Structure 1
Amino acid sequence: MANKSADLRQKDVAALEGEVKELQRAHFGLRMQKATQQLSNTASLRVTRRDVARAKTILAQKRAESSSK
């Protein structure tokens, strides 16, 4: 987990925004698979949801840091 955070913290704001969009797209795909009962590993929903939250948190921190300067 710390490894994912460290990787995200090295990215700039534009790259983080792209990462958030990509993670949200992946999460949406998993939700659709679950709705059509094609998803066997439902734990992956939790993992992607938390990845989205982690990326959004770091993005918000970077935006706050850049606006305070």
Structure 2
Amino acid sequence: MKSSFLNDIGRLECDSVEFHCGELIEVFFHDRWQKTRLEHSSSQGGYYSIDGYPLLGNPIRPVTS
């Protein structure tokens, strides 16, 4: 699994997928996929999970129906 990172334009990216605020995502944390929503705020330090899961450095993927 690839880890997430900030790409050259400052967007969150993982496995060639660029993510945007408000998207439902899954983050691989504590050995399982956790469903959450991605948001962005300067006061929060940039991109964050509304459920507090760490994003940078962990695999993330879009939620599929």
Give the structure with the larger helix fraction: 1
> TM-score, normalised on structure 2?
0.24
Larger Cα Rg: Structure 1 or Structure 2?
Answer: 1
> TM-score, normalised on structure 1?
0.23
